[in-house]
Amino acid sequence: MDTVRIGVIGVGRMGRNHCRVYATMRGADLVGIYDPRPETAQEIAAMYDVPVFTQVEDLLGVVDAVSIVTPTPYHCDLVMQCLARGIHVLVEKPMTETLEQAETLVREAAASGAVVQVGHIERFNPTYMELKKVLEEMSVLAVNFKRLSPYQTSNTDVDVILDLMIHDIDLAHDLIGGEPQTITANGLTAFSGKADHVVTQMGFENGPIVTMTASRVTEQKVRTIEVTCREAFIEADLLNKSIAVHRRSFGEYLNHNHAGVKYRQESVVERILVPGAEPLMLELAHFIESVQNKTQSSVPPQAGFFALRSAERICDDICGNLVEIPDERAALNAENESVTIHSA
C-alpha cells in the first residue's frame, strides 16, 4: 500500500492536531472527518479542504485507516466497527473505559489482522527515545516520574490517573519490560471530587523501584524522568527536551600553584543531544508505516490493556482512602456571595 487513505473521528483539541499532521504527511491522504458537532467539523474540514461525514459508517466506507480521538467511553464501539470492516486503527489513550472492554479489543484486534495502535504518545517523545538508548548499558535501580499540570488545562472528565499518570504507567512498563508485582498509592482530591494528586510506588521482580507523581493542582507544567543507576544519575525533561547524565568520578588532581594542595572532581555531567522532532508526527508516521508494511505497531493493544490494568490497580489501592482537601478559596467566595446577597 503506497498511500493510506486516512480519516479522523473526533476533531476536538487533539483530533485537529491529528488532522494537521496527516494533511502534510507523506504516505497519508486525509480523506474525511467525522464529529458530532457540525460547526466544529465544518471548521476543521475547511482548514484542510476535506469532506465532513455525518455518519461514522459513511466515513469508514472510504478509508483504509482512522484515528479515533473521541472521549474514552466511545472508543470500544468505534474500534469494534473498524475491526469488523478490516480498517486499521489508532485509538487515543486510555484505550477503553473498562478493563473488560480492553481485553475484548485485544482479542478482536488479533483475530482481525488489522493494525491497532494505542496513542501513548510519550513513547515517541524524542527525549524518552534517547533516554532508552542511554540506559541500554546501565543497571537501573530506581525511576522517578513527575507529571504535573494546572487544573485548568486538564481533562477533568476522568481522575488524574487516567488523565496524566497513565502516560508514565505505560513508559514504566516499556522501560522495565513488564508489569509491576506490587503497587501502593496515595491520593487526594482538591477540586474535582476525583483523585487530583496521586503518588504511586511500583515494585518489579528483580527490577527497580518506580515512583510516580501525577498532579493537576500545580501551576507549573512538569514532565520529568529521573533514573538512578549504578553507573550514573540521569535527569530527562520531556518538555524541554533535555537529558543530563551525572557520572561518578573521583579523580584527584594536584594544584601546581599551591604545593601539596589537591582538588577532587566529584562528578561529570554529560548533556545528550535530543532531536527536535514533534512526538505526534513521529507517532502518526509510525502508524502509517505499520499500515503500509502490514506490521504490528510498537504500541499494540496489549500495551493499552496493561497500562489500563495497572491504572485500575492504582485506583483500587486508593479507593476509600482518598483524602479530601477543602477548597478554602471556594468556601470563602461562597460566603462572600452570601453576605453580598444578604446585604442587598
For residue 300, count other CB atoms closer than 10 A to its CB. Answer: 17
Q: What is the pLDDT of residue 251?
A: 57
State residue 194's pLDDT score. 86
The position carrying cell 489482522 is: 113
**Could you give the 3-state DSSP secondary structure of residue 83?**
helix
Q: Apex CA 70: angle with CA 218 and CA 25, to 5°?
A: 95
Dihedral sign (CA 210, 213, 168, 118): positive
Sheet hosting strand 242-255, strand order edge to edge: 261-272, 242-255, 232-237, 222-229, 140-148, 209-215, 197-203, 182-189, 323-324
Cα within 13 Å of Cα(263), Cβ side: 6
Q: Between β-strands 65-68 and 88-92, what pairing exists: parallel, antiparallel or unpaired?
A: parallel
Q: Return phi, psi of residue 252, to 5°.
A: -110, 140
In the numeric block, which cell numbers belong to residue 166? 497513565
In this prediction the pTM is 0.88
Q: Which pLDDT score is estimated for 279? A: 97
Q: How far is CA 211 from the centre of its chain?
A: 16
Q: N- to C-terminal Cα distance for the chain? A: 72
Task: Choose the weakest-confidence range: 50-59, 184-193, 237-246, 262-271.
Answer: 262-271
Question: Looking at residue 86, what DSSP letter applies?
Answer: T
pLDDT tens by residue, 58-73: 999 999 999 999 999 9
The three three-digit cell numbers of residue 107, written as one number: 482479542
Q: What is the pLDDT of residue 24?
A: 96
Which conformational region is residue 116 in: left (phi greater than 0), alpha (psi within -120 to 50 degrees), or beta?
Answer: beta
For domain 4-121+280-300, give its CATH number from 3.65.10.10, 3.40.720.10, 3.40.50.720, 1.50.10.20: 3.40.50.720
Which residue from 126, 147, 128, 88 is spatially nearest to 301, judged by alpha carbons? 88
* Residue 266 confidence (pLDDT): 62
Give yes or no for a contact between 145 and 236, defined as CB atoms under 8 angstroms apart. Answer: no
Q: Residue for cell digits 487513505?
A: 5
In this prediction, residue 338 carries a pLDDT of 42
Buried b (16+ CB within 10 A) or exposed e, 173-209: bbbbeebbeebebebbbbbbebbbbbbbebebeebbb
Tell me what pLDDT residue 37 has: 95
pLDDT band at 112 (very low <50, low <70, confident <90, very high): very high
Residue ranges of alpha helices (H) inside the chain are 13-24, 38-48, 56-60, 75-84, 99-112, 126-134, 160, 166-176, 279-293, 301-318, 328-343
In the block, cell 535501580 appears at: 141
Q: How much is the pLDDT for 5?
A: 98
- Model confidence band, residue 11 (pLDDT cutoffs 50, 70, 90): very high
